[in-house]
Structure 1
Amino acid sequence: MDRYGYELPLLLAGAFRRIIDELHRRLAEQGHPDLRPAYGFALQAIGADGCTVSDLGRRLGVSKQAATKTTAKLAALGYVDRTPDPADARAVLLTVTPHGRAALTESARIFEELRAEWKKTLGATRLRALEDDLAKLTPSETPTPLIDLPGWFH
């Protein structure tokens, strides 16, 4: 039976939602109950070297005000430190704390578990084919698909 065109984006969104919801359920069990998907994007965007709030806004494709609000919450939860930028007194420098790095490390581990579960459900060949097909459909001139997705690989 053929599916309707509108079903494809719904199926993709549903699969994404399932992975992300399960990730956050497991992160909560591992001591990160307040971590939300948007916070994960922000932590990735801040990166290992840190960045300013303005840089974070650009990387995430949001306003400086939205980046400020997100980082205030992340700081209150202990995931980032906010300090004056020594290069620009008007700017705030963001760095990921050890607690934030632990959350990112745990996220990576959980993503590996989730992929292994999909591999068990779909089989190794079908999962690899799915990943290969999705990579073909993901426009990118870089070796890493979605390198330009705001915040994901910075």
Structure 2
Amino acid sequence: MAEGYELPLLLFAGFRSFIDELHAELAEQGHPDVRPAHGFALQAVGRDGVTAGELGRRLGVSKQAAGKTVERLERLGYVERADDPADGRRKLVRLTPRGADVLMRSAVIFDRLRDRWVERLGAERVSDLEEALRAMVPADGLRLDAASWFGS
């Protein structure tokens, strides 16, 4: 029988292998500076953009920490700040074409990585694994604040 600590370590190792392979491929495809925490932030920005305060709430970090992340992503060309059309006093953080490109490429790479698991384990085992994880993960378990949780 496996020890209780093995399951979370194996789940994390599987996650880590996906993320490491994703970033290796992104680097080859012209995105060498994007980091795992950037992916969470870019997802949190979304298609419509967000204020820095909202970004902080979505990521589970302070407005100041979110601002630093925005500055970093802005320097790398993944986001831009623009006036909020609904409120001229606010600035929105929006994806640039480069930011949208890295998210699109990530989605394609994730599909390819999943396909590799299907080739190795079989479609039924991968589907069973996904179904079992969905059953065990709380309804709000898929949150974008994972990067801040690891950093705490």
Q: TM-score, normalised by structure 1?
A: 0.89
- Listed as ranges, the matches of 1:74-89 within 5 Å are 74-86=73-85, 87-89=87-89
Match of 1:55 in 2: 54
Partner letter of residue 44 of structure 2?
A
For residue 92 of structure 1, report the CA deviation from its aligned partner: 2.7
1:139 matches 2:107: no
Paired-residue identity, %: 54
Say whether the 8 Å CA contact 1:45–1:151 is kept in structure 2: no
Aligned length: 145
Distance 1:50 1:151, change over 3 A: farther
Match of 1:12 in 2: 11
Where does structure 2 lack aligned partners over 5 or more consecutive residues? 147-152
Partners in 2 of 1:39 and 1:47 — Cα distance? 12
For residue 103 of structure 1, report the CA deviation from its aligned partner: 0.5
List 4+ stretches of structure 1 deviating above 2 A: 83-86
Partner letter of residue 36 of structure 1?
R
For residue 151 of structure 1, report the CA deviation from its aligned partner: 5.7
Partner letter of residue 118 of structure 2?
K
- Listed as ranges, the matches of 1:25-104 within 5 Å are 25-86=24-85, 87-89=87-89, 91-104=90-103
**Residue deviations 1:122-145 (CA, integer Å, cap 9, x gap):** 11111111111111111117xxx6
Match of 1:21 in 2: 20
For residue 88 of structure 1, report the CA deviation from its aligned partner: 4.9
Partner letter of residue 105 of structure 1?
M
Say whether the 8 Å CA contact 1:51–1:95 is kept in structure 2: yes
Where does structure 1 lack aligned partners over 5 or more consecutive residues? none
Match of 2:144 in 1: 150
Partners in 2 of 1:85 and 1:125 — Cα distance? 47
RMSD: 1.6
Partner letter of residue 6 of structure 2?
E
**Residue deviations 1:39-85 (CA, integer Å, cap 9, x gap):** 11111101100010001000111101110011101000000001344
Q: TM-score, normalised by structure 2?
A: 0.90
Say whether the 8 Å CA contact 1:44–1:151 is kept in structure 2: no
Distance 1:106 1:151, change over 3 A: farther
